[in-house]
Amino acid sequence: MEKKKITSFKDLEVYQNSYKSMLIVMKEIVPKLPLSEKYDLVDQLSRACKSIPRLIAEGYAKRHQKAGFQKYIDDAMSECNEMIVSLSQSKDLYSKCVNVNLCEEMIDSYDKSGRQLYKLGESWTNFKRRQT
């Protein structure tokens, strides 16, 4: 497998995947939730899905700092876990409102993103060790 050179955070597969997932959640899932969830589940899903690509971009900017980079990667992983729980709640509580299959796809996507972020953090740590 040929490795693509990373010249920007936009080149990271995990950024691309989390951005695409954010668009789907914001366009296809959040609007379908009941108004009674406006200040709870809707707010949580909106903030968490938007924060993941942002955290990846911010972390990439601090990639020269081991602790700075890792903090953003850890925070993005936490938000992925939050998305998994919130999407599970959405499909289990509101199966008549939301597309359950789409929620499952997004749960899988955020699970994959969390694993990618973990591997990115490990790879970066190993890369930095080799440089010193």
Phi then psi dihedrals of residue 40, to 5 deg: -125, -90
- pLDDT digit string, tens, across residues 49-74: 999 999 999 999 988 887 888 999 99
Look up the CATH number of domain 11-131: 1.20.1440.60
Confidence band, pLDDT 50/70/90 cuts, at residue 130: low
Per-domain boundaries in the chain: 11-131
* C-alpha pair distances (Å), 49 with each of 21, 77, 122: 8, 11, 23
Q: What is the pTM of this model?
A: 0.90
Q: What is the pLDDT of residue 128?
A: 55
Q: How many CB atoms lie within 10 A of CB 19?
A: 17
Distance CA 130, CA 127 (A): 5
In this prediction, what percent of the chain has a pLDDT beyond 70? 92
Average pLDDT over residues 12-21: 97
